[in-house]
């Protein structure tokens, strides 16, 4: 696919997968709309990108109603969006019995309602043009559950279900809907994961530190967009195989996850 002068909107663009997607899409000639909370990080990224047609639009996905209102008001001033990548999100590493209830609220606001708000604002413009791709980054945790992730996994399962329904509804309007389920990718996601009090745990995780290189992961994601895939799992080792193992050997998978003692 030729991405030259295409408009790609990426949330969670200040770090990790979002940042790498921005770098690679810009290298392909696309114009990027960069969204995250940190204006300083977005400015730093913008200055490093290939090309000069990039924009910064700060968003706080934890306030979805504000996102919907803000984006709806600004759409007329933005270029037509060819690809929307709902990447912004937050993870969690804590036990259900220890979690404060607000942890679940935080995760759903950012990972699910924030995603819906932005999609709600942008999708009608794509429908009007009968063109566009809506890409949502879920997780392998949105396909299989495990310890320490009741809130995160629940929010990511919700993203998978939402995208399945959206894909069915928008097919007649020629809109491509892709769900990406990354496994362990080497980013700062573990450090930013919420603990039982809803505060970033600020510590590494073995599976993430030894996960797939983020540059390779982003390359595979762009390939899935180019090939108009509906859903892809991207990961190496057990994180990439987990959905398949759960599908064909559910009892074994459930026993293994129950015995696991890692975060």
Tokens (6 digits) for 151: 């809130």
Examine the pLDDT at 46 and tell me if it is beyond 80.
Answer: yes
Between the CA of residue 64 and those of 53, 126, 239, what are the distances in Å?
A: 27, 20, 30
Confidence of residue 18 (pLDDT cuts 50, 70, 90): very high
Average pLDDT over residues 258-262: 74
Q: Rounded to whole angstroms, how far apart are CA atoms 9 and 123? A: 12
Check if the beta carbon of residue 194 is closer than 8 Å to that of residue 103.
Answer: yes
Q: How many CB atoms are located within 10 Å of the residue 217 CB?
A: 25
Catalytic residues: 152
Q: How many CB atoms are located within 10 Å of the residue 226 CB?
A: 13
Examine the pLDDT at 80 and tell me if it is beyond 90.
Answer: yes
> How far, in whole angstroms, is CA 90 from its chain's centroid?
9
Q: What is the pLDDT of residue 12?
A: 97
Examine the pLDDT at 3 and tell me if it is beyond 60.
Answer: yes
Average pLDDT over residues 83-98: 95
Examine the pLDDT at 262 and tell me if it is beyond 70.
Answer: no
Q: Rounded to whole angstroms, how far apart are CA atoms 12 and 256? A: 32
How many alpha carbons lie under 13 Å from residue 184 in its C-beta half-sphere? 16
Average pLDDT over residues 52-64: 97
Number of helices (H) and strands (E) in the chain: give both, helices first: 11, 7
Average pLDDT over residues 123-127: 98
Q: Dihedral of CA 125/126/128/131: which sign?
A: positive
Between the CA of residue 104 and those of 107, 137, 195, what are the distances in Å?
A: 5, 19, 11
Q: Indicate the range of 122-126, 178-182, 200-204, 223-227 predicted with least confidence.
A: 200-204
Q: What is the pLDDT of residue 197?
A: 85
Domains of the chain: 7-259 (3.40.50.720)
Sort residue 202 into left (φ over 0), alpha (ψ -120 to 50) or beta.
left
Question: What percentage of residues in the chain have a pLDDT greater than 70?
Answer: 98
Q: What is the pLDDT of residue 118?
A: 98
Q: Rounded to whole angstroms, how far apart are CA atoms 240 and 78? A: 37
Examine the pLDDT at 245 and tell me if it is beyond 80.
Answer: yes
Q: Dihedral of CA 201/202/206/212: which sign?
A: positive
Contacts of 111 (CB under 8 A, 6+ apart): 89, 90, 152, 155, 156, 158, 159
Examine the pLDDT at 263 and tell me if it is beyond 60.
Answer: no
Residue 37: name the closest of 54, 57, 17, 60 by CA: 60
Q: What is the pLDDT of residue 261?
A: 67
Q: Dihedral of CA 70/58/155/80: which sign?
A: positive
Which tens digit of pLDDT belongs to each residue from 185-240? 988 776 788 888 888 787 777 777 778 999 999 999 999 999 999 999 999 888 88
Average pLDDT over residues 52-72: 97
Residue 133: name the closest of 34, 230, 19 by CA: 230
Q: What is the pLDDT of residue 211?
A: 83
Average pLDDT of the chain, as a whole number: 94
> How far, in whole angstroms, is CA 222 from its chain's centroid?
13
């Amino acid at each position: 696919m030729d991405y030259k002068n295409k408009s790609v909107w990426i949330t969670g663009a200040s770090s990790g997968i979002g940042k790498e997607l921005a770098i690679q899409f810009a290298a392909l000639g696309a114009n990027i709309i960069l969204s995250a909370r940190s204006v300083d990080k977005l400015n730093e990224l913008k200055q490093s990108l290939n090309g000069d047609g990039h924009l910064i639009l700060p968003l706080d996905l934890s306030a979805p109603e504000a996102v919907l209102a803000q984006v709806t008001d600004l759409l007329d001033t933005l270029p037509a969006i060819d690809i929307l990548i709902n990447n912004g999100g937050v993870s969690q590493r804590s036990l259900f019995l220890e979690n404060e209830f607000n942890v679940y609220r935080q995760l759903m606001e950012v990972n699910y309602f924030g995603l819906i708000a932005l999609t709600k604002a942008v999708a009608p413009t794509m429908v009007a043009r009968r063109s566009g791709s809506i890409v949502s980054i879920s997780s392998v945790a949105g396909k299989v559950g495990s310890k320490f992730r009741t809130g995160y996994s629940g929010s990511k399962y919700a993203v998978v279900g939402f995208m399945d329904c959206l894909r069915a509804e928008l097919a007649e309007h020629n809109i491509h809907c892709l769900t990406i389920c990354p496994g362990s990718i080497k980013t700062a996601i573990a450090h930013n994961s919420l603990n039982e009090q809803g505060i970033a745990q600020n510590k590494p995780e073995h599976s993430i530190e030894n996960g797939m290189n983020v540059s390779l992961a982003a390359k595979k994601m762009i390939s899935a967009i180019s090939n108009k895939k509906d859903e892809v799992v991207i990961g190496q080792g057990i994180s990439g195989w987990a959905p398949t193992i759960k599908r064909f050997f559910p009892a074994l998978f459930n026993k293994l996850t129950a015995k696991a003692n890692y975060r």
